[in-house]
């Protein structure tokens, strides 16, 4: 099952996409980082849940910050 983690901001460390809106995880592996709109093909194709634990946090490579 997919788990979508929306966040206040995701700092990606990728120069072509330095910030994102959410992280999508399947079986403890990140499968997508970006906007929720870009994740729609995944979300439409597979069962998923939304975990709002980080909705008010900034996620960086190392930790989640308020």
The two tokens of residue 30 are 């990140």
Tell me how far apart the terminal alpha carbons of the chain are, to the nearest angstrom: 27
Q: What is the pLDDT of residues 13-40, one digit of tens each?
A: 888 999 999 999 999 999 999 999 999 9
Domain boundaries, the chain: 2-65
Whole-number pLDDT of residue 66: 65
CATH class of this structure's domain 2-65: mainly beta
Mean pLDDT of the chain: 92
Q: Which of 9, 40, 16, 60 is nearest to 24 (CA)?
A: 40
User: pTM of the prediction?
Assistant: 0.88
Question: Collapsing DSSP states into helix, strand and coil, what is residue 34?
Answer: strand
């Amino acid at each position: 099952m997919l788990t979508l983690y929306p966040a206040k901001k995701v700092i990606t460390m990728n120069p072509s996409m330095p910030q994102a809106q959410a992280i999508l995880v399947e079986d403890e592996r990140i499968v997508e980082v970006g906007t929720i709109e870009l994740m729609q093909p995944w979300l439409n194709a597979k069962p998923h849940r939304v975990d709002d634990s980080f909705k008010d946090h900034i996620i960086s490579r190392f930790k989640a910050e308020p």
